[in-house]
A and B are shown apart, each in its own frame.
Chain A
Amino acid sequence: MITTVVGNYPKIGPGTKAPNLRTAIGKGDRGEMTPEEIMGVRAQVTAEVIQEQINAGIDLVTDGLIRWDDGQTYLAKAISGFSFTGLIRYFDTNTYFRQPVVEGLLKWSKPITVADYEFASFNSSKPVKAVLTGPYTLAKLSQDQQYHDQKRLVLDLAEVLNQEAKALQAAGATVIQFDEPAILKHKEDFPLFQEAMDRLTQGLNPTLALYTYFDDISGVYPAFLKLPFQIFGLDYVMGKANWDVVKEVPSDVSFGLGVINARNTKMETEAEIADAIKRIAPIVPTERLYINPNCGLEFLPRETAYQKLVRMVEGSKKAVEVTA
């Protein structure tokens, strides 16, 4: 059993040693700090949140997506063919992002996250998971003024992200996660999604993870678990129906069990976490289990995010003792 996080981690918090990123960006807006200096602060914060995850006992860490404003713009800015328009809400959360606009044919021109991955690996004593937003979700959260054909748009994005993943693979990434929350809100698009996932994963040797959140996979189960990935991340907090829906998991895949609510400060108890692990154990044995929050941790204050990870690790240990 491996403990991990889904992606982002709160960027600022009390009593941290790295400079405050919010203050730094504010200074940048006033012309008191250069973009390079701000990137320097982001790097320091990244190193710090990696260490924080390790301190909490997390086995497989991410770089906390400290350089990302949100799941869309960081990638879209570097893909040719995108521009940006007004702020829109991210699903049913209280966070917003500047909506990407597809204005031209989408092309991968240079590595986007490779330097970030290398930095994180260098600064982590634990394995690092690279995280990318999947092509379907990225397309769905963008405004299309070019393709007027969802299928072509999604497949072109799958091609772009496949090249990014290949660049990560060349840089030594051993685990690459793709986030696809949007497919759960548009299950009628599953045939296209399958095609996109095939395209996305072609020629990739790292362990590939497909993470969903904010909903359950009813309606696309069991086909969902046959997509070409080795790890499937499911939300058992907001997608409670997953308990009833997922009765069997193919024996060649691992499971990302989202059991910690990363959208509410109410602390789970160790017993609740251990119970969830025990409940899933007959369907997925613990050696094929990843334990993680239900989604990225940035909806929480930094101190709560950390406490929740500590609790998650303790609850997982407890479950191992009981099931052993």
Chain B
Amino acid sequence: MSGLLTTSVGSLPKPPELQAARNKMLRGELAREELEQMERDATAFWIKSQEDLGIDILVDGEMDRGDMVTYFSELLEGFTISGLVRSYGNRYYRKPIANGPIGRKKPMTLKTWEYAQSLTSKPVKGMLTGPYTIAEWSFNEYYSTFEEFVMEVAKVVHEEAMDLERAGAKYIQIDEPAASTRPEEMELVAKSMAVVTKGLSAYTLTHICYGDFEAVIDDLNSIPVDNLDMETANQDYSLLELFRGHKSSKHLSLGVTDVHTHEIESLEQVKAGIRKGLEVFSPEQLFIGPDCGLKTRTADESIAKLKVMVQAVNEIKAELGIA
């Protein structure tokens, strides 16, 4: 029997000097090549760290991405970038503006994925942002309807996913953190995801953040991916109750550490969370990861949280006799 594979949602903390270097590059004070070298070093650090921790499915940590939507819109045709807008507290981001037809000039994430995968024999996930989220987190000055905007973006995300698969990616995650924004649009999330995952043979996942899923649990279950990656720890695992009542054949990536607190969860806390997951899903169906991207934490906090997570998984696997 196998099961309880461990993974991360996507982003991992960047070394502070990398952020400083990126700003320097933007001001023209640092060559792009130097920044890219630093990004590769940081990626190598995280690949090694995840291997040392014993994580099963790795991520490159998104060392070269400022933001999960802006990163793509900067590489796509049809987008410009706005000034800074605030998302909460003291967090700001530059919001893309669609002001022409969206198109892909060239592969966007391939080089980084290939580099990360070259460093390890463990699988590295291809990481994409989904069309609904790209559209939802952008200003729209071009398309006449939001739906048209989403479906056009879906085509370019699909092209990128196909490129990742051709390069050998076994796992492709298409994140839709915005999918819970408007429950009545979960159907559009699924419809656009169908365009993205059409013809893919790789194992597909989608991560969805925050939200009240009660009204949309069936639509959530209908999103055409193999694995739903959900935040659960910071909701005290209440989401599992919804899945209990709406049995899913999908796999679930269970979030067992809260990414918005400095506090490191105790081993017992994480084990209790995994046990709750096992009440509703079989070990084969269940992946274990953090609630969300860890980029908001420090490297030390992230490693400590992941360490507890892996240990908790190992202890439970031993109890269950899972290899």
User: Whole-angstrom distance between the alpha carbons of A98 and B86 in the complex?
Assistant: 14
CA distance A271 to B88 in the complex (A): 35
Q: How far is the CA of A320 from the CA of B136 in the complex (A)?
A: 36
- A89 and B181: CB pair below 8 A? yes
Which of B90, B92, B234 is packed against the most chain A CB atoms within 10 Å? Answer: B90
- Chain A CB within 8 A of B85 CB: yes
Report whether B182 and A92 are in contact in the complex, using a CB–CB cutoff of 8 Å. yes
CB neighbours of A300 from chain B (8 A): 85
Q: Which residue of B86, B139, B182 contacts A264 across the interface (Cβ within 8 Å)?
A: B139
A94 interface residue per 8 A CB criterion:
yes
Complex CA–CA separation, A11 to B92 (angstroms): 10
Cβ contact of B97, chosen from A88, A89, A98, A265, cutoff 8 A: A265
Residue total for A at the interface (Cβ-Cβ under 8 A): 31
Closest Cβ of chain A to B141, distance in Å, is 4
Q: Does B213 interact with chain A (Cβ within 8 Å)?
A: no
Question: Taking the nearest CB of chain B, how far is it from the CB of A138, in angstroms?
Answer: 18
Stretch among A45-53, A104-112, A223-231, A301-309 lining the B interface:
A301-309
Interface string of B177-197 (1 = CB under 8 A from A): 010111000000000000000
A70 surroundings in chain B (CB, below 8 A): 88
Given contacts A87-B210, A301-B95, contact A94 B82 (CB under 8 A): no
- The answer, yes or no, to whether A59 is at the interface (CB within 8 Å) is no
A97, B181: Cβ atoms under 8 Å?
Answer: no
Report yes or no: B87 in contact with A265, Cβ–Cβ below 8 A. no
Which A residue sits closest to B183, measured CB to CB?
A92
A301 contacts B84, C-beta separation under 8 Å = yes
Cβ-defined contact, A94 with B87, below 8 A: yes
The digit string for A1-36, where 1 denotes a CB below 8 A from any CB of B, is 000000000111110000000100110010000000
User: In whole Å, how far is B183's beta carbon from the nearest beta carbon of chain A?
Assistant: 9
Known contacts A22-B92, A94-B178, A266-B141; A11 and B83 CB within 8 A of each other: no
B74-92 interface mask toward A, CB cutoff 8 Å, 1 = contact, 0 = none?
0000000011111111101
A88 touching B84, Cβ below 8 Å: no
Give complex CA distance A97, B260 in Å.
Answer: 13
Given A86-B234, A266-B139, A96 and B85 touching (CB < 8 A)?
Answer: no
A252 CB to nearest B CB, Å? 37
Q: Mark B14-27, 1 if CB is under 8 A from A, else 0.
A: 00000000000000
In the complex, the answer to whether B88 meets A302 with C-beta atoms within 8 Å is no
Min CB distance A176 to B, Å, is: 25
A97/B88 in contact, CB under 8 A: yes
A159 at interface by CB-CB < 8 Å: no
B137 contacts which chain A residues (CB < 8 A)? Answer: 94
- A86-B260, A266-B139 in contact; A302/B92 too (CB < 8 A)? no
A266 to B143, CA, bound (A): 11
Also in contact, A95 and B87, with CB within 8 A (given A87-B210, A88-B210, A266-B140): yes
B211 at the interface (CB under 8 A from A): yes
| A69 at the binding interface (Cβ < 8 Å) | yes
User: Is there a chain B Cβ closer than 8 Å to A117's Cβ?
Assistant: no
Q: How far is the CB of B115 from chain A (nearest CB, A)?
A: 31
CB distance from B233 to the nearest CB of A (A): 11
A96 and B83 within 8 A (CB):
no
A178 in the interface, Cβ–Cβ < 8 Å?
Answer: no
Chain B residues within 8 Å of A213, by CB: none
A214 → B minimal CB distance (Å): 11
| Alpha-carbon distance A92/B212, docked complex (angstroms) | 12
B window 83-133: CB within 8 A of A: 83-90, 92, 95, 97
Determine if A10 and B85 form an interchain contact, defined as CB atoms under 8 angstroms apart. Answer: yes
A84: shortest Cβ distance to chain B, in Å?
A: 12
Picked from A13, A86, A89, A265, the residue with its CB within 8 Å of the CB of B141 is A265
**Are A96 and B87 CB-contacts (below 8 A) given A87-B210, A87-B260?**
yes
User: Which B residues, 266 to 319, have Cβ-Cβ distances below 8 Å to chain A?
Assistant: none
A299 CB–B CB distance under 8 Å: yes
Contact A96 B88, beta carbon cutoff 8 Å: yes
B83, B90, B180, B210: the one within 8 Å of A301 (CB): B83
Q: Contact at B141–A264, with CB atoms within 8 Å?
A: yes
CB contacts under 8 Å to A, within B125-179, are 136-137, 139-141, 178
CA A266 to CA B149, docked complex, whole Å: 15
* Bound form: Cα–Cα A302–B211 in Å: 28
With a CB–CB cut-off of 8 A, which chain B residues contact A303?
Answer: 83
Residues of chain A lying within 8 A (CB to CB) of residue B92: 12, 22
Tell whether A301 pairs with B87 under 8 Å between CB atoms, given A86-B260, A89-B210, A264-B140.
Answer: no
Q: How far is the CB of B112 from chain A (nearest CB, A)?
A: 25
Q: How far is the CA of A13 from the CA of B85 in the complex (A)?
A: 9
20 contacts across the A-B interface (CB closer than 8 A): A10-B85, A11-B86, A12-B84, A12-B86, A14-B83, A22-B84, A22-B90, A22-B92, A25-B90, A70-B88, A86-B260, A89-B210, A92-B181, A92-B182, A94-B87, A96-B88, A265-B139, A266-B141, A298-B85, A304-B82
Task: Give residues in B with beta carbon < 8 Å to A.
Answer: 82-90, 92, 95, 97, 136-137, 139-141, 178, 180-182, 210-211, 234, 258, 260
Q: A22-B90, A95-B88, A96-B210 are in contact. List 14 more A-B contacts (CB 8 A).
A: A12-B92, A69-B89, A70-B88, A87-B88, A89-B180, A94-B136, A94-B137, A95-B87, A264-B139, A264-B141, A265-B139, A301-B84, A301-B85, A302-B83
